[in-house]
Structure 1
Amino acid sequence: MDAFVTIVIFMAVFGVIYFDHVDRRAAVLLGALAMVFSGMVSGFFSVGMAVDSIYFETLALIFGMSAISSVLDRSGLFSMIATRTARHAIGNGWWVLVTFALVTYGLSLLVNNLAAMTVVVPVTLSVCLRMKINPVPLLITEIVASNLGGASTMIGDFPNMIISAAGNLQFFDFLSGMMVPCLVLLAAMLVFLQRYRHEFAIGLMGEIPDTFDDINLKSAEVDPYLVRVGLWVLGVSLVGFFVSDVLNLRPGWVALTGGAVAMILAGLNEEQDWFVACGGQDIIFFAALFVMVGGLVASGALESLFNLIRTIGNGENVPMMLTLMWSAALLTIFLNAGATTALFVPVTAGLDMSITDTTVWWALSLGVLAGSSAALTGATAGPLTASYLERFLKAHPEIQPLIPADRGLDFKGYLNWGLPIMGMFLLLSSFYIMIVAR
């Protein structure tokens, strides 16, 4: 009965989030309170257990990397990179797609995915307007490239931050375990998109001007001091990540220190919402989410999922990893990457005890990556990009005829692109797991 109640609470919370009835942070906070209250009444979950279920190292990683990303974003460095990329690529729609995919991937390796997308997407839309090409394929490519960049490192996205804390993994572990498959998947995506190359062949005829003031594609104003602060703190933090294992430090506390130093050196700005800039909203969301998952674990609700994976995998390491990966991918389509990772972490930790191979964590990360690339709501970058496009179309309705009715950037339209990409990612990732698993 306890397991049934916790499952109902969890499903109710993500049901209202999925249908956008309530702000996701408010919904998860209420769900966490309901989980604790139900646990205290039935005696299976206490306040102390709720606190213990929170991965504080993940919260430290979110704070630190969000703060560093914010400083670099404010410096204008990202905007400068994006606009210079646009100037070199404009005139060839396919080259615009490839270069912006690479830039998005590169930025997402080391900074918050949303910070990368908030810079790249507006520039992409301006270029598409200038060249009169459909922006949707470019935006979807950037969403997936952002997911791939984030999945390549420990600090690129929230799922890997959660996995790092739960699996007691270091920065170099992710580089050796995740970067190669993510680069292969990035190349595979670009090859897959070749079939739509004709959609990028239509560019603006005539001479390309040196300035783009007519579409707000102006040179970014760069603050040299903030650039130095952001890059130095990021560089020192990366060194700290590499030596943390030798010094017996956890990466989360290295990131926390780096974020605090970045905030202090960058100084306060009255126009800057520092709570948002330092990931305050995400910290609240994930802290409450960890409590909800802790309630599911305490009630025994996740034992069925654990047993199902072991049964389908027949107790064999590789089949269990593949079952875990595909299950996580399918659930991510509906739950979002962060929530699915938090839900599957206890299950993966249980498998890790019997498998004793870090590949099980890569199976989870690759599964979440595939699922988050399948649906618009799979990762936070999707809804953010859709909002940018919606506002852009209202300001520039002349670009609407370039977007086919069934291939827009809504949930259904995205699936036409995302589901084939997810299938390709899962197949390639399955081969990778079978190769590297011990």
Structure 2
Amino acid sequence: MAVTIAIAIFIISYIFIMTEKINRALVALAGGLLLLLTDIYEWEAAVNDYIDWNTVALLFAMMVLVSITKKTGVFSYIAILLAKIVKGRPVPLLVGIAVLTAVGSALLDNVTTVLLFVPVILTLTNLLKLPAFPYLITIIISANIGGTATLIGDPPNIMIGQAVPHLTFVSFLQHTAPVAIMIFILAIFILILLFRKKLNTIDQENIKQLMKLKEGTYLNKTPLLFQSLSVLCLTITGFILHPVLHIDLTIIALTGAIMLLLISEKEVDTEKVFEQVEWVTLFFFIGLFMLVGGLEEVGVIDELARSIMWMTEGDMMYTGLLLLWTSGLFSGIIDNIPFVAAMIPVIQEFESYGMANLDPLWWSLALGACLGGNATLIGASANVVVAGLAEAQGERIPFVKYMIYGLPIVLLSLIIATIYLYFRYLLPYQQTL
């Protein structure tokens, strides 16, 4: 009976999360509460065993850091400067925005990056009288591919990094960044081909208006500018030096956030900073961990792991490729965060079935989940955020229209990732047997 209740609560919660009729954080928390009320597990088990507080705290710290840095206007300054450097030319602007978004997503996280850049891009496209759709699509795809490259770039990677301590910031740079760069270059080339006709004309008068903008006026040249950029750089350096420092990533991020709050107290109201934290996202994670915890508690996760092992007969190559494509395709249909939350304990369970080196499977899950998020507007949190920001300014992104562009890029991305995984991890693993 407990198994049926836990599965029913999980599936119903998923359906409501996908339809977005009710706030997804509220749905996830309600599902977690139902698990407690139906005695699937105790509150102590939820708090101590199932909610990953490290992931929640790491996201919170990065939100605080970016929230303060945003007040300096440095992100608007960079975007406008870029537009002036390319002299408002549509295709170079598209490429520049793509690079900016990908790099920002790798170093900050993709949700935060799109929150910063989408309003600026909509302002620029409106000023230059350019169609916003190609740029919004480019931002979504670049954000998810860029986020694939690092541990903090995409929430699924953060979750994997917290679940597997030896997969450090540098590990992700070494293992997911190379293929992410290859896929990014190919994706941008395809987007240019697809949108070149829509971006081949521009009014010179609009370019003159752009060139008259003074990007320096967007930059608040106060001590906060130096303080925030310094602490942000120190924090990212701390992530990179994590294997040497032997300090938990969450501690590094929290240290950076609290340090910046302390040294910027005269310019920034701490309460205002906390108001700008994306609490909905954080509570969504908490509820999500509780939902997946219900499946763990009743043994569904163990059974899923056994099923995968039975299908692949424990073969690392088949298991890795199955994980890549399953996570890639499922992440396009549902948000990749809950999918990864459900799959992490499944992969961990493989160890009890004799798989000694699980790293190829972790890279399969990370690549599939992050890249697959590009397939639809609900495939990743960054997609939902971009769609919401655009619609608020009258630039609605139709679900099907987006999928026409997103799905082929995902399929191509997964094919490239398959070749990469096969030759770098799966084939060498087979040869050592």
Which residue of structure 1 lines up, in the alignment, with residue 247 of structure 2?
249
- Per the TM alignment, residue 217 of structure 1 is displaced from its structure 2 partner at its CA by 8.4
CA contact (8 A) 2:324 2:364 kept: yes
Change in Cα spacing, 1:223 to 1:33, as seen in structure 2 (3 Å) is farther
Which residue of structure 1 lines up, in the alignment, with residue 321 of structure 2?
322
CA contact (8 A) 1:90 1:131 kept: no
CA deviation profile, 1:140-172 (whole Å, cap 9, x unmatched): 111111112222111122111111111112111
Which residue of structure 2 lines up, in the alignment, with residue 181 of structure 1?
179
- Per the TM alignment, residue 322 of structure 1 is displaced from its structure 2 partner at its CA by 1.2
- Which sections of structure 1, spanning at least 5 residues, go unmatched? 395-407
Identify which of 106, 116, 119 aligns with 1:119.
Answer: 116
CA contact (8 A) 2:144 2:370 kept: yes
CA deviation profile, 1:9-63 (whole Å, cap 9, x unmatched): 01111222222222111111111111123244xxxx2223212112121122112
Which residue of structure 1 lines up, in the alignment, with residue 420 of structure 2?
432
Change in Cα spacing, 1:343 to 1:213, as seen in structure 2 (3 Å) is farther
CA contact (8 A) 2:28 2:288 kept: yes
Identify which of 40, 50, 56 aligns with 2:46.
Answer: 50
Q: 1 CA distance for matches of 2:356 and 2:322?
A: 14
Q: CA RMSD in A?
A: 2.4
Q: 1 CA distance for matches of 2:399 and 2:200?
A: 26
Q: 2 CA distance for matches of 1:148 and 1:211?
A: 29
Which residue of structure 1 lines up, in the alignment, with residue 409 of structure 2?
421
**What's the TM-score once normalised by structure 1's chain length?**
0.89
Which residue of structure 1 lines up, in the alignment, with residue 144 of structure 2?
147
Q: 1 CA distance for matches of 2:221 and 2:271?
A: 15
Provide the identity percentage.
27
Change in Cα spacing, 1:201 to 1:219, as seen in structure 2 (3 Å) is farther
Change in Cα spacing, 1:300 to 1:207, as seen in structure 2 (3 Å) is closer
Q: 2 CA distance for matches of 1:206 and 1:319?
A: 57
- Which sections of structure 2, spanning at least 5 residues, go unmatched? none
CA contact (8 A) 2:129 2:206 kept: no
Which residue of structure 1 lines up, in the alignment, with residue 282 of structure 2?
283
Aligned positions of 1:27-426 closer than 5 A: 27-40=27-40, 45-51=41-47, 52-168=49-165, 169-196=167-194, 197-205=196-204, 208-209=207-208, 211=210, 219-267=217-265, 269=268, 273-351=272-350, 354-393=355-394, 409-426=397-414
Change in Cα spacing, 1:410 to 1:218, as seen in structure 2 (3 Å) is farther
Aligned residue identity for 2:31? G
- Per the TM alignment, residue 248 of structure 1 is displaced from its structure 2 partner at its CA by 2.9
Query: Which region of structure 1 is more displaced relative to structure 2, 271-280 or 224-233?
Result: 271-280
Q: 2 CA distance for matches of 1:68 and 1:98?
A: 27
- Per the TM alignment, residue 117 of structure 1 is displaced from its structure 2 partner at its CA by 1.4
Report the 3-state secondary structure (helix = DSSP H, G, I; strand = E; otherwise coil) of the residue aligned with 2:178: helix
The alignment of Structure 1 onto Structure 2 pairs a total of residues equal to 420
Change in Cα spacing, 1:304 to 1:174, as seen in structure 2 (3 Å) is same
Query: Which region of structure 1 is more displaced relative to structure 2, 259-268 or 55-64?
Result: 259-268
Query: Which region of structure 1 is more displaced relative to structure 2, 18-27 or 80-89?
Result: 18-27
Q: 1 CA distance for matches of 2:185 and 2:210?
A: 32
- Per the TM alignment, residue 426 of structure 1 is displaced from its structure 2 partner at its CA by 0.7
